[in-house]
Structures are given as structure tokens and as C-alpha cells.
Amino acid sequence: MTHESVLRCSDIIKNFKSESGDGELEILRGVNLNIQSAEIIAIIGSSGSGKSTLLHILGGLDRPTAGDVFWHDESIYQQKPDKLAELRNENVGFVFQFHHLLPEFTALENVMMPALIKGTRYPDAEKRASYLLKRFGLGERLNHRPSQLSGGEQQRVSMARALTNNPSIILADEPTGNLDEKNTDTILQLLFQLREEENVSIVLITHEKDIAGKCDKVYTLQNGVFES
């Protein structure tokens, strides 16, 4: 298993306009982070500390006010929008607390979607999606729509979708936040197995210290920066 820098962010600052419209709120005040291949890190912090904002910036979903993010030393925010979208689709897998599955599509179709957007041939996308769903214990649920699945099953579909394009990194924002203890344990076991089998890095946002304690590194975001 090789270990090299996959993602690095430098001096990330993010400001939002205040609700009153006069002045700005400084959410991130110069965040630096370096993530190695096959590394699982946890980011913890109080509600409103900027954890999700940082995750969105790392994944190219939201631009920082200042600073930059690098994938294998390539700046993502100096890319044109279409190139950034392509880079994000091919290199980053997202798992959110709310799975964001498309209700009109089956589990199989939801997992295939990123590959089809990338331009993968339909048979190849279907084969990969089917493999992942079976790998996550959902072989009997391929043709079920989200409304026919339990919360834990929906989250496993979301994880399979995140892996469709063999990403370098998974960004997971409170992926167990809406799950019971049994499903939480299942999701965590899968995440750690993914690191071993797919050589994927994982950034995990969580508010639970016992979950964070199982990760390789833990960073606490407070007052817009990581505590030293």
C-alpha cells in the first residue's frame, strides 16, 4: 500500500456575508491539511464550526474566499468549471448524512449515475454498480427504489455510488448521523474495509468522539482553525 499526498489544502479562508448584510462572518481562518493515500482522518468540532464548509471546499463544491486545494499537487480552483467538475466526478466520492439518492431510480441506477456522467459504457457501469451493491450486502436490492429501502440500506447505496468511479478519496459528512447503533457499526466497518481493499483515503466529519478515535488522525476545528 503506497502512501503519497492525495489532497492538500493551504491557508483556506472562507467568509460569508452576515445576515444583516453589513460585514462578513469569518468561518475558516487559515486551515491547512495534508491527506495521504489510504489514510482515514476525522474532523470534529462544535456545531457551526465550519466542518461541512471545509469538506465542501476540499471536494470542489464551494470556493474558498482565499487559499487553495491541491489534488496530487494540482490546484483545483485554478481549473475551468468544466475541468473542475470532471476532476471532482472522477476523483472524489461524497457521502452525506442525507444520502441524496434520486427517488425515481433504482439502487442500481443510482450507483451507475456517476459512471454514466463520466462517459463509461452502460454495460461497464452496470457491472461495477452491481459488484459494489453486492459487496455491501445489497444484492437482493438492486432493483429497489430508495423508498423501498431502510435508512441503513440507503446509506450503503450512497457509499456504493461514491465508489463507482474508483475515487482517490471519499469525503463523508456525518454519514452515520441518522442511523442506529447497529447500522452505524456496519457503515464504519465498510468504510475501514474500503480503505484496505480500494486503497482510498477517507475524510470523516463526525461529532462522535468514539467514532473519531478509530481513525488514523483526528483534527478538531475550533474558531476557524485546527487546534494544535
* CATH classification of the domain holding 46: 3.40.50.300
Give per-residue pLDDT as tens, 152-163.
888 889 888 888
**Residue 34, beta-bridge partner list:** 8
Q: Mean pLDDT throughout 148-177?
A: 85
* Residue written as grid cell 485546527: 226
Domain membership of residue 99 as a residue range:
5-226
Q: In the chain, how many domains are there?
A: 1
Q: Residues with Cβ < 8 Å from 77, sequence gap 6 or more? A: 60, 63, 64, 68, 69, 84
pTM of the model: 0.84
Per 3-state DSSP, the chain is made up of helix, strand and coil in percentages (nearest 5) of 35, 25, 35
User: Looking at this protein, which amino acid is placed at residue 132?
Assistant: L
- Which grid coordinates are listed for 161? 455510488
Which pLDDT value is given to residue 218? Answer: 92
Helix (H, G, I), strand (E, B) or coil at 192: helix
Top pLDDT among 128 and 49 is at 128
